[in-house]
Homo-oligomer: A and B are copies of this chain.
């Protein structure tokens, strides 16, 4: 029986046209984060199970990891996220590294989920982290980078929204204002994560079920809903202003607004699934109604590096997946036409490749990308092949051209021909086209 040509379920093959789009996204990510002084790192796709047990979140570890034993009996995981890995790497060189440390990576991540729109079993994710900054200048920088990336892709403020919250502010309101104990607070937090996936009556009944009778009678459910509905710091109960994080958020929002990011708002219902966040958290949402998902998320996780037995290190980071980005670019018509990386298709008519190898080497040395057609095939058929591959130019070399050193360059889009192309002219033309 023949083998199946399908890729592993929920994962993607990247044919050259797909890979061009991915390279465009990755290169744009890289260019912008490097402008902010971030340096690229990488790590193995396999990690020991242990590093996820502490903080990644139960659902992910127990139900969604690619977990297996290697041939030496070690329990290992195909990484579902990069944060534990980067924390491990920083911890390993905690003393040697110079802070603030700005790092990024574009790892491939795996989760065993039911494949659905915007979420496959694998994706590539831009991870950007800053280590060693304990004030909100770190959050401001990362959110500014998100804005700069959107801008580089051609997006305007209307196309997306960044929502910001502070875990400690919520915790303060839950404990001191609503009087919840730690266990109830944790349960409510997990519920809030689901809030936009369930309807209002279900939400209310689940909140009620998490509270005791006295709390319900005291109107805690209503007060909690008022908090969660707040889309502006001013909509929170006045008591919120007593907590120092209130002023921090206020300042952060002010600074981002004054730098032109009018689309950053406070959102009390933003929690983020991971257990490791300790301060400000943020997410970006696509405003196109067809993509009503969080596109990227991040926040402060000051406790993770310290789990590796070194002094704790303040850290803020975010992750941005390639699938949600591609959906966003697509929905907002921001995908550029990406030409083939092949500049020219060389068609030889009754000329052996060995006789033109010096010419081809000369052109290649000038960074002109050229593919040689099949000798012996008809010129019309070869042009069809070049066309199918999306190559814009054909260089036609017959015996006459080989002798004269003047070749025919045909633009396959317009049909225009230039029959007097010398190697110098070709080099000049393509250098201009590519600059």
Contacts and interface: CB of A to CB of B under 8 A. Distances in A.
Contacts of A42: 13-14, 19, 22
Contacts of A11: 44, 46
A47 B375 contact: no
10 contacts: A11-B46, A15-B93, A19-B40, A37-B345, A37-B370, A37-B371, A38-B371, A137-B353, A258-B354, A259-B354
Interface string A345-384: 1000000011001000000100111111111000000001
B39 A16 contact: yes
Contacts of A186: none
Nearest to A77: B8
A371 B66 contact: no
Contacts of A98: 384-385, 388-389
Given A2-B309, A44-B8, A45-B108, A340 B39 contact: yes
Given A11-B44, A91-B5, A367 B31 contact: yes
A384 to B, nearest CB: 8
Nearest to A12: B44
A307 interface: yes
A205 interface: no
Given A23-B40, A99-B385, 16 more contacts: A4-B48, A5-B308, A8-B76, A11-B46, A12-B44, A13-B89, A19-B39, A19-B41, A20-B39, A35-B370, A37-B369, A39-B342, A66-B68, A102-B371, A137-B375, A258-B354
Interface of A: 2-9, 11-16, 18-20, 22-23, 31, 34-48, 50-51, 54, 66, 68-72, 74, 76, 78, 88-89, 91-93, 98-100, 102-103, 108, 110, 112, 122, 132-133, 137, 140-141, 148, 255, 258-259, 307-310, 340-342, 345, 353-354, 357, 364, 367-375, 384-385, 388-389
Contacts of A340: 39
Nearest to A42: B14
A34 to B, nearest CB: 5
Contacts of A3: 50-51, 54, 88, 307-309
A87 to B, nearest CB: 9
Contacts of A8: 44, 46-48, 74, 76
A289 B304 CA distance: 45
Which residue among A54, A140, A372 has the maximum number of chain B CB atoms within 10 Å of its CB?
A: A372
A368 B100 contact: no
Contact of A16 (B23, B40, B308): B40
B122 A35 contact: no
B41 A14 contact: yes
A40 to B, nearest CB: 5
A260 B63 CA distance: 58
A88 B357 contact: no
Contacts of A48: 4, 8
Contact of A92 (B13, B54, B76, B353): B13
B92 A6 contact: yes
Contacts of A373: 100
A43 B14 contact: yes
Contact of A364 (B20, B23, B148): B148
A413 B77 CA distance: 44
A99 B47 CA distance: 41
Contacts of A133: 374
3 A-B pairs with least C-beta separation: A37-B371, A2-B309, A68-B68
Contacts of A389: 98
B35 A2 contact: no
